[in-house]
Chain A
Amino acid sequence: DAGITQSPRHKVTETGTPVTLRCHQTENHRYMYWYRQDPGHGLRLIHYSYGVKDTDKGEVSDGYSVSRSKTEDFLLTLESATSSQTSVYFCAISPQGNTEAFFGQGTRLTVV
């Protein structure tokens, strides 16, 4: 498995609270991504990063922010969690364009 870990693996939080999910890689890959997986929607891109401090929005970025201060870490923050953000979140990494993306094991987030 590619060296990619997500933390926490499971989290339950209350509506309105901030939440931060962490993705850590040991592969020194340039590109990092956050996806959410929901029944009937597959995986949808939230945000991605193409280098340290370089990030951009994906297709479902509202309510999420990201930061990448080091090559190995990509953080996803829900500023004020809502029930619609209950989902499984996957981090992925990729060395360069049009190559395989490697996925983390996922974080199951429940907002109550």
Chain B
Amino acid sequence: AQRVTQPEKLLSVFKGAPVELKCNYSYSGSPELFWYVQYSRQRLQLLLRHISRESIKGFTADLNKGETSFHLKKPFAQEEDSAMYYCALGYGGATNKLIFGTGTLLAVQP
């Protein structure tokens, strides 16, 4: 069965420090992976998806099929990065259903 695991509930770093939010998945097919972010008092929004291979707000994520991982990275954290981050796996083909991880709260300290 498909599953997404985010092992850290909370990640606290200082401003300027590197950030890595971990995500591992389990899926028998070809995965579609996403990172969604929820800032305080805002709606959930897409941060990036593996297929586009782009960098958004300095964040990158590389799909590693061998390790079944899709970790989110940023070299220098900013206070405005503080938010809840969800890794999600798309399945069901055209229906675009999502399986979410439990989320990691990133807290960037000044």
**Chain A: residues with CB nearer than 8 A to chain B?**
1, 31, 33, 35, 40-45, 48, 50, 56, 58-59, 90, 92, 94, 96-106
A45 touches B93 (CB 8 A): no
**Which residues B82-110 have CB closer than 8 A to chain A?**
86, 90, 92-103
Known: A96-B96, A101-B96. 7 other contacts (CB 8 A): A42-B6, A43-B86, A43-B98, A48-B97, A50-B95, A100-B46, A105-B43
Known: A42-B103, A43-B86, A103-B43. A98 touches B51 (CB 8 A): yes
Size of B's binding interface in residues, CB under 8 A: 24
B43 touches A106 (CB 8 A): yes
Closest to B92 in A: A97
Q: Is B44 an interface residue (CB 8 A)?
A: yes
Q: Is B32 an interface residue (CB 8 A)?
A: yes
